[in-house]
Structure 1
Amino acid sequence: MGRGESRDDMETEPISAKPRAALPLSLRRRLFFGAPAFAGASLAIPIGVLMPRFYSDVVLVPLGAIAVAAALARSFDALTDPLMGWLSDRTRSRWGRRKPYIAGAVIPMALCFVALFAPPEHLDSQRAALWFGASFGFFFLFGTIVEIPYSALGAELADGYQERSRLFGIRSVFAAAGAIIAAIMPTILAASGLSGERTIFRVMAIGYAVLLVVLNAGLLWQVPERREFSERAPNPLIPGVRRALRNRPFRILLLAAIMSSIPGATPAVLMPYFVEYVLGAQEPLAMTGLYLMLYLGAGLLFVPLWMKIAQQVGKLASFITASSVGVAGSLLYWFAGPGDFVFAGSVYFLTGTVSQAGAFLVPAMAADVIDYDELRTGKRREAQYTSFWALVPKFISIPSYTVPLAVLAGAGYVAGAVQNESVLFWMRFMYSLFPAFFYVVALLILSRYPISEAIHEAIRDGIGARAAGGSVEDPLTGAPLRPEEEATVSEEDGWFLDHFSPRELRRLHATGEGGLVRAVLLAIALSLGGFAALTAVA
């Protein structure tokens, strides 16, 4: 094997006898695929925005306990993502490799959501914290079993560069609509005569749980899996992770996602507190719902515009433009103060106009990255990429959900009372300046993303040509990609290349097996120590 060649460059498996054509999806299938996002967003708004204040100010669980329980639950959730992706990719059944998991987990997921927003009233704060941790953790466990196969199914359904934008664009419209309904539903239920936030959230949770089951049933009924993908040989877990990290466009997307995930959940978690204590709203639940409706409604209205822009200038340019507007809006929140309701509403509308752009552009870009991986390796691994894509940012985002609550608790936060200046400062800082900085860093990284529409077409043509037995040129690096039958790597050499990095192989050559084993054990110990430290900080 030549010095500049990797295992990825030479290992393929038969895919097709001819280049794949972009398969246009019917509107019916696009709608049934996108519809579950309506329910998903309906659940996400209460989880991400309303739940922390519900437990801290209504159920009266201390903020520190909420932060610890959420950190533990989300850590476990992150660990299950790669396993679920690996398992889904390897599943072979008469019903497919994605849909059986969705069918089996969606009802338990719905029941856990109801439990999360219907804690028994007789529980004291300690038992309520345990209830929160258990229901929160199981909700995300079953959510992973549903979401990873669902996301992988979306990457498989559409082949074309623009077709993927349309598919995920429709999904983002459903998501925005579901989020808008979720934002205003507490106010609607209160106006209907329901009294008490416990009752309002319990009724809301039951309705969303039913919706989740019904819309996913429609997906299972009307959206078939593509058999040609499920018939391909499964990919081992560890080599799959290593090959994903050799994929340069994937590394760029992943690193950008990590940067944006550092403050990822912070604005959503702090929004009810910002509205009540920084802006001074007398009816914080209703005002939060109004601002969410402005934000999400603007996102829904502007999805067609961003889809049109993406078709004209490409996914990357569209996303960078939209994200720049979002950064500007994030900075403007710093200048909001008591009574600035109109100013804050204007900023929420501004940032909302770009809120759904990433919801369809990033998944569409990720699907193109999976095509590039197929060109290099000959394998389709949608679920493994989807789970790996979710894993690292999800771990990074754990502190973004929990640390703000812990900081407010440390600064002297008192539920329902006038907050001191330290609490107000940290609310404004973490809501505005902190996320804006990391969003800028993410944009700088993402600006190096290399796959345009023309390059994607070259990737698709190369997949077909290489599968038919021809040699092609990597459209990103210019390196030759030879057909499988010309590969000269022995089985033993291939195993080492798949399971160890070049640095680890150099260590093996220099120190023998003992040195490599000690290095791996040290890396495992450091990883566990880092995880323990992250959990402790969170």
Structure 2
Amino acid sequence: MFSRTQNAKIIEGKSGILTAYVPRLMILYMKDELGLSLKLAYGSGDLGFSITTTMVGAYLSIFLTDVVGLAPTLVATAIFIGRSVDYINDPIIGHLVDRTRSRWGRRRPYLLFGALPFGATFLLLWLRPPLNNPALLAAYYGGAYALFDTAATFVYMPYYALTPEIAPSYDQRTSLTSFRMSFSIIGSLIVFVLPWAFIGSFSPDNADRILVFAVGVAIISVLPLFICFAAVHERPEFQKESVPNLKGSLKAAFGNRAFLFGAVIFLATWVCIDLLQALIVYYIKHVIQRESYMDLIMALIFVTALISIPLWNFLSGLWDKRLAYIVGAAFLAICLGLLSFLGATTSMGVIAVLSVAAGIGVGAAHVIPWSILPDAVELDEYETGERHEGMFYSLITLAQKAASSIALPLVLLMLGAAGYAPRAEKQSESAIRGIRLVMSIIPALLLGSGAIFALKYPLKREDHKRLTAELDERRRNYADVQIDPAEAPHN
């Protein structure tokens, strides 16, 4: 265990002058110690999470208002009920994952045994139970949401916690995260583009088509988890570490400055993404009135985001993750601010250009916050002598869900207060203004707050390199001490 004074010297000490730099363009595809097959296998796991959570985030609200016929206030209540369960189960599951010991490791068993419940609970969200009471319907969907979130936590908490174990270095984590986020964006692209070709509009007449599409999504979501389980293996040196009780794990997390700053960056970014996913369908349908171009607009955003990932990976290597995030967040915030000026008379050309520009910013939002978080694990080990990846990721996802459970219902309540009418073909001017506000200004403010914390983030590349070198040396010394004298070599 190491003192705060020693830690301060590492974090706050001035790094040496960079005397030489070799550009690492396309580091995403360079051969490194991880190997292409490992990065593909691990990255594919995020396809399942992306395709399900994107469908929930983008379509559940409009499914419940325009297909089921619930008022926005009841939809807000159902979402809040569903996500409130995570306030309790996320840290408990994260701590459980850290303490798990099995022949498959600490994380992988959850991928194997949690995959099918994850897919099954997702389907519950798209059924229409034979209930006529709106309050009972809201209770059903709130309960289904809680079950799905719990099943997802059991699968993706350990999945995320594998990142710092698989990729030990600063830039390897950006590369690995880039692969994972590539699959994440592919999942988003599938969910945002295909429904409009297969389902058409979200209306009561298309409820059966929505369910069939959800079945396909559930099947796709499960398969990559089995691939990830089979192809990815945990590092054995991390299997023997002891983990303190729940209170000790929480204390370690909240005492880690890099983790707290990274958490704010992550939180601001992904609440912004959650809001955009939930509201973009409303925006395209009612504000710019281009529902027939829905698949094209979504494709422009997410194909551009996918293509931009090597760019953000390169910029993270050229500068560092902090500066790359600040540039990406500022760019996306500007694009979102411009959305408030678009309307039904805006030409499709302008909409297409802004969609491509926004996609570049979306690529940064997907890659960089996720690659920042694992670096705090080494600081945790440096300060405490232990690693709490499961607890760290559980608190991160808990914070995201908690913020979204407040933000998403809040914006739905704002839409209701602005006069949004479920199933109405044409919305009032006040409702249009409400959609513009929550689609552009609020997400832009969130990104601005993330950029401020990124500016002050305490771990640079040089700091992390010194941390990992020190920890490697201490692990070697610990291993030497553990050698049984009877087994030691004799002259």
CA distance in structure 2 between the partners assigned to 1:423 and 1:195 by the alignment: 22
CA distance in structure 2 between the partners assigned to 1:175 and 1:65 by the alignment: 30
Structure 2 runs not aligned, ≥5 long = 9-31, 482-491
Instruction: Give 1:461's aligned amino acid.
Output: A
Q: Partner of 1:13 in structure 2?
A: none
1:476-491 mapped onto 2 (5 Å cutoff): none
User: CA 1:287–1:48 in structure 2 vs 1: closer, same or farther (change >3 Å)?
Assistant: farther
CA distance in structure 1 between the partners assigned to 2:94 and 2:44 by the alignment: 22
Pair 1:351-2:358 in alignment: yes
CA distance in structure 2 between the partners assigned to 1:76 and 1:453 by the alignment: 37
Instruction: State which drifts further: 36-45 or 461-470.
Output: 461-470
Aligned-residue offset at 1:324 = 1.1
Q: Partner of 1:24 in structure 2?
A: 33
Picking from 120, 124, 131, the partner of 1:115 is 124
**1:370-412: per-residue Cα shift (whole Å, max 9, x none)?**
1111122111211111111222232122122111111212222
- Count residues in correspondence: 452
User: CA 1:453–1:297 in structure 2 vs 1: closer, same or farther (change >3 Å)?
Assistant: same
RMSD of aligned C-alpha atoms? 2.6
Aligned-residue offset at 1:222 = 1.3
Instruction: Give 2:209's aligned amino acid.
Output: I
Q: Partner of 2:305 in structure 1?
A: 299
Contact 2:323/2:454 (<8 A) preserved: no
CA distance in structure 2 between the partners assigned to 1:259 and 1:236 by the alignment: 29
Pair 1:157-2:157 in alignment: no
Aligned-residue offset at 1:123 = 5.1
Aligned-residue offset at 1:220 = 1.1
Q: Partner of 1:229 in structure 2?
A: 238
**1:407-441: per-residue Cα shift (whole Å, max 9, x none)?**
21222221224222221211111111122122112
CA distance in structure 2 between the partners assigned to 1:118 and 1:455 by the alignment: 51
1:178-217 mapped onto 2 (5 Å cutoff): 178-190=187-199, 196-217=205-226
**1:146-192: per-residue Cα shift (whole Å, max 9, x none)?**
1101000122111111211111111111111121111111123248x
* Identity of matched residues, %: 25
Contact 2:57/2:274 (<8 A) preserved: yes
User: CA 1:346–1:121 in structure 2 vs 1: closer, same or farther (change >3 Å)?
Assistant: farther
Q: Partner of 2:285 in structure 1?
A: 276
Picking from 46, 54, 59, the partner of 1:50 is 59
Instruction: Give 2:356's aligned amino acid.
Output: F
Q: Partner of 1:370 in structure 2?
A: 377
CA distance in structure 2 between the partners assigned to 1:287 and 1:111 by the alignment: 32
Aligned-residue offset at 1:336 = 0.7
CA distance in structure 1 between the partners assigned to 2:268 and 2:181 by the alignment: 22
Pair 1:252-2:258 in alignment: no
Picking from 72, 75, 98, the partner of 2:81 is 72
**1:50-101: per-residue Cα shift (whole Å, max 9, x none)?**
1211110111111111100101111112331111110000011112111222
Q: Partner of 1:316 in structure 2?
A: 322
Picking from 412, 420, 434, the partner of 2:419 is 412
CA distance in structure 1 between the partners assigned to 2:151 and 2:315 by the alignment: 36
Picking from 383, 396, 399, the partner of 2:406 is 399
Picking from 447, 451, 465, the partner of 2:473 is 465
Aligned-residue offset at 1:205 = 0.9
Q: Partner of 1:495 in structure 2?
A: none
Structure 1 runs not aligned, ≥5 long = 10-22, 471-482, 484-538
Aligned-residue offset at 1:363 = 2.2
Contact 1:261/1:394 (<8 A) preserved: no
Q: Partner of 2:458 in structure 1?
A: 450
Pair 1:421-2:429 in alignment: yes
CA distance in structure 2 between the partners assigned to 1:5 and 1:270 by the alignment: 44
Contact 1:103/1:220 (<8 A) preserved: yes
Instruction: State which drifts further: 370-379 or 144-153.
Output: 370-379
**1:203-233: per-residue Cα shift (whole Å, max 9, x none)?**
1111111112211111111111222112111
CA distance in structure 1 between the partners assigned to 2:218 and 2:4 by the alignment: 51
CA distance in structure 2 between the partners assigned to 1:31 and 1:122 by the alignment: 44
Instruction: State which drifts further: 306-315 or 215-224.
Output: 306-315
1:116-131 mapped onto 2 (5 Å cutoff): 116-120=125-129, 125-131=134-140
CA distance in structure 2 between the partners assigned to 1:443 and 1:246 by the alignment: 22
With the length of structure 2 as denominator, give the TM-score of the two structures: 0.86
Q: Partner of 1:288 in structure 2?
A: 294
CA distance in structure 2 between the partners assigned to 1:195 and 1:62 by the alignment: 15
Picking from 312, 325, 333, the partner of 1:327 is 333
User: CA 1:375–1:54 in structure 2 vs 1: closer, same or farther (change >3 Å)?
Assistant: same
User: CA 1:72–1:450 in structure 2 vs 1: closer, same or farther (change >3 Å)?
Assistant: same
CA distance in structure 2 between the partners assigned to 1:5 and 1:146 by the alignment: 34
Instruction: State which drifts further: 79-88 or 413-422.
Output: 413-422
User: CA 1:263–1:323 in structure 2 vs 1: closer, same or farther (change >3 Å)?
Assistant: closer
User: CA 1:290–1:468 in structure 2 vs 1: closer, same or farther (change >3 Å)?
Assistant: same
CA distance in structure 1 between the partners assigned to 2:400 and 2:211 by the alignment: 31
